[in-house]
């Protein structure tokens, strides 16, 4: 097959439509050179994860006064270095850190310093400086520049992947799948509609990849393609079940199994909400602790899938970035939670990541050291970290990163992240 990046969009769409017409639905996300190419996973934590809760700065002299109540309630942090620890629910991430595959980034955030979830997520995903300034996403633009494909583990295309037509989407279903017979008839129905035929063909291909990935991983194909609990009698009204515990882990497993395949997607986006913690934040069985546990298990499952036999060491070529839209107040509020703040934490994981360290130009937590007297200061623009991932993984130069992917960011140098 011709290499994907030698085709322009029109040819690519035409080629896919031709595939649809012949009924061949084999997908090849990576192209022939796929096995050598870098892979990127972007995990968006929606709701503003408290970076000081997930990565407590226990060695900061002002930490104890502000956060002791949480530490007592949540349990002793897992030590990283003299200054930082990890929340006890992040045990698997802790062992990745010790193995040198997890880099912790702290006091990081956006150029936008207000505290609206919606605006901050818009900035995080668009890669701009102000909400609304850019209407498509940095990862979409990076894929457009390299003509590579991407997959969002969701029904619609999230903002971060917008701006490029070569993006597939997949999410578990709560509804019965169409039969092969119906699909064949639909394909004939779309004989004269290239776009619908193309979308159906891609969808069938993604479904087939999911099933193949699941069976390669030794799972029942249904376990990846069905949403948890969907084996039960369909709910009245055909509604979506609410995302429950375990969904994220299952999605990570599916993403890992897909990326482990030589022809798997090179770029995957996952998003998980529920990090807004205004009350009872540190409760040992509370929502935030459960979420952190899911994140921990999910990332471990992603890695395990990419290190499974037959995965061709996909983990070695992969970089995972986990980021949220902002951090939270340093002080605990009146309802034993925290309110929207600015600086927060992020993580970069992968086989080649120079991990086992905390990357932070630590501004300090004493009231006078805080942003507007209340929040952790941002001392590292998250775009530097993202540039540090995209540069080597997708083969993008500083100029493309500074002009196209993150317009107007030429002054921000990519953070060096890889082992020599």
In the complex, which residues of this chain contact another protein (CB under 8 A)? 116-119, 122, 132, 135, 152, 154-157, 159, 165, 167-171, 173-178, 181-182, 185-186, 188-193, 195-196, 198-200, 202-203, 205-207, 234, 236-240, 334-336
Question: Which residue in 329, 374, 385, 370 sits closest to 53, CA to CA?
Answer: 329
Which of 53/190 has CB closer to another protein? Answer: 190
Which of 239/309 has CB closer to another protein? Answer: 239
Report how far apart the first and last C-alpha atoms of the chain are (Å, whole number): 33
Q: Helix, strand, or coil here: 217? A: coil
User: HSE (CB half, 13 Å, CA atoms) of 159?
Assistant: 19
CB 324 within 8 A of CB 83: no
Which of 146/225 has CB closer to another protein? Answer: 225
Smallest distance, another protein to C-beta of residue 137, A: 12
Both tokens of 393, joined, read 């993984």
Which of 198/303 has CB closer to another protein? Answer: 198
Which of 122/146 has CB closer to another protein? Answer: 122
Which of 81/193 has CB closer to another protein? Answer: 193
CB 212 within 8 A of CB 257: no
Smallest distance, another protein to C-beta of residue 276, A: 8
Smallest distance, another protein to C-beta of residue 333, A: 9
Which of 72/81 has CB closer to another protein? Answer: 72
d(CA 106, CA 92): 19
Smallest distance, another protein to C-beta of residue 29, A: 12
| Cβ-Cβ contacts under 8 Å for 387 (sequence gap 6 or more) | 398, 401, 405, 406, 409, 412, 413, 414, 415
Which contiguous run of DSSP H or E holds residue 102?
strand 102-109
C-alpha angle 266/271/277, rounded to 5°? 150
CB 235 within 8 A of CB 242: no
Smallest distance, another protein to C-beta of residue 284, A: 16
Phi-psi label, residue 69: left if phi above 0, alpha if psi -120 to 50, beta otherwise: alpha
Smallest distance, another protein to C-beta of residue 147, A: 17
Smallest distance, another protein to C-beta of residue 335, A: 6
Both tokens of 1, joined, read 């097959």
């Amino acid at each position: 097959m011709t290499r994907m990046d030698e085709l322009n969009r029109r040819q690519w769409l035409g080629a896919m439509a031709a595939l649809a017409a012949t009924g061949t639905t084999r997908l090849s996300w990576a192209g022939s050179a796929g096995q050598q190419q870098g892979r990127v996973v972007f995990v968006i934590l929606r709701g503003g994860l408290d970076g000081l809760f997930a990565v407590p700065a226990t060695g900061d002299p002002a930490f104890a006064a502000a956060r002791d109540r949480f530490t007592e309630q949540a349990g002793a942090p897992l030590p990283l270095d003299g200054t930082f620890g990890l929340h006890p629910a992040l045990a698997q991430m802790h062992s990745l850190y010790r193995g040198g595959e997890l880099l912790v980034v702290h006091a990081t955030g956006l150029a936008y310093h207000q505290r609206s979830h919606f605006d901050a997520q818009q900035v995080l995903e668009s890669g701009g400086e102000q909400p609304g300034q850019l209407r498509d996403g940095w990862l979409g633009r990076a894929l457009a520049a390299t003509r590579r494909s991407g997959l969002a583990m969701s029904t619609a295309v999230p903002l971060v992947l917008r701006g490029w037509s070569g993006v597939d989407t997949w999410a578990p279903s709560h509804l019965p799948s169409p039969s092969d017979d119906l699909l064949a008839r639909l394909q004939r129905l779309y004989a004269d509609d290239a776009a619908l035929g193309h979308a159906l063909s891609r969808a069938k291909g993604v479904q087939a990849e999911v099933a193949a990935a699941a069976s390669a991983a030794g799972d029942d194909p249904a376990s990846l393609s069905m949403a948890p609990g969907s084996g039960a009698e369909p709910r009245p009204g055909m509604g979506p079940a609410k995302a429950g515990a375990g969904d994220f882990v299952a999605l990570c497993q599916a993403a890992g199994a897909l990326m482990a395949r030589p022809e798997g997607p090179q770029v995957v986006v996952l998003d998980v909400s529920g990090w807004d913690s205004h009350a009872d934040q540190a409760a040992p069985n509370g929502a935030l602790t459960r979420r952190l546990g899911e994140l921990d298990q999910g990332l471990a499952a992603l890695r395990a899938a990419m290190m499974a036999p037959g995965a061709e060491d996909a983990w070695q070529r992969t970089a995972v970035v986990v980021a949220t839209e902002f951090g939270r107040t340093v002080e605990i509020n009146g309802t034993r939670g925290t309110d929207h703040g600015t600086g927060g934490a992020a993580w970069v994981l992968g086989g080649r990541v120079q991990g086992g360290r905390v990357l932070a130009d630590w501004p300090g937590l004493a009231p006078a050291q805080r942003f507007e007297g209340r929040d952790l200061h941002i001392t590292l623009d998250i775009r530097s970290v993202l540039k540090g991932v995209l540069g080597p993984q997708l083969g993008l130069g500083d100029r493309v990163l500074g002009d196209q992917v993150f317009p107007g960011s030429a002054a921000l140098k990519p953070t060096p992240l890889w082992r020599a």
